[in-house]
Amino acid sequence: MPSEITRSIMIDAPAALIFEALTTEAELAQWMPRSAKIDARVGGEYEFNFYWAAKKVETTARGRVVELVPNRKVSYTFASSEDPPGTPPSLVTWTIEECSDGKSRVTLVHSGIDAASCLKRSQGWGYYLDRLAAYSSRSPVRQLTR
């Protein structure tokens, strides 16, 4: 049965800056994947390449953008090279809600994943939400050490 991960974080940055970090290749590569290709429009394809030096593991996530609302939301299908063959793509949705104090609440929902990988993916998304917060608020971001 498919499961869902929902994580939220407050970030000391305006929505427009966070949206750019989520949808621009050069920005994405600063805090999430080692390299990123994204056609940030509905129907556009993306590919994120990850490398964990400590484990000498490379993975790739691919999919298509299914929803894009400037400065508010981006949603894309998600298929990882770590998934068993035949696994259907899941869905990753980032929602940005700008608050009156110049901060923004970012909520990530990863839906349609199997229960077995839910914990692993939840830990990974927590890690990347923290990196997004540090990068978007322009705090120093530690090097990827996983």
The mean of the pLDDT values for the chain is 90
Q: Which domain holds residue 16?
A: 2-136
104 lies in some domain: yes
pLDDT of residue 142: 39
pLDDT of residue 1: 58
pLDDT of residue 121: 86
Residues in a beta bridge with 138: none
Total tally of structural domains belonging to the chain: 1
144 lies in some domain: no
Q: Of 138 and 143, which is predicted with more confidence?
A: 138
141 lies in some domain: no
126 lies in some domain: yes
How far apart are alpha carbons 18 and 23 in whole angstroms?
9
Closest CA to 132 of 110, 99, 97, 107: 107
Average pLDDT of the segment spanning 108-133: 89
142 lies in some domain: no
pLDDT-derived band of residue 76, with 50, 70 and 90 as boundaries? very high
Distance of CA 50 to the CA centre of its chain: 12
Please report which helix (H) or strand (E) contains residue 125, including its range: helix 115-136
Average pLDDT of the segment spanning 118-128: 86
Q: What CATH number should be reported for the domain holding residue 96?
A: 3.30.530.20
145 lies in some domain: no
**Torsion angle of C-alpha atoms 19, 70, 95, 59, degrees rounded to 10:** -50
> What b-and-e string marks burial along 18-27, b requiring 16 or more CB atoms within 10 Å of the CB?
bbbbbbeeeb
Is 48 a residue whose pLDDT tops 80?
A: yes
pLDDT in tens, 10-31: 999 999 999 999 999 999 999 9
pLDDT of residue 42: 98
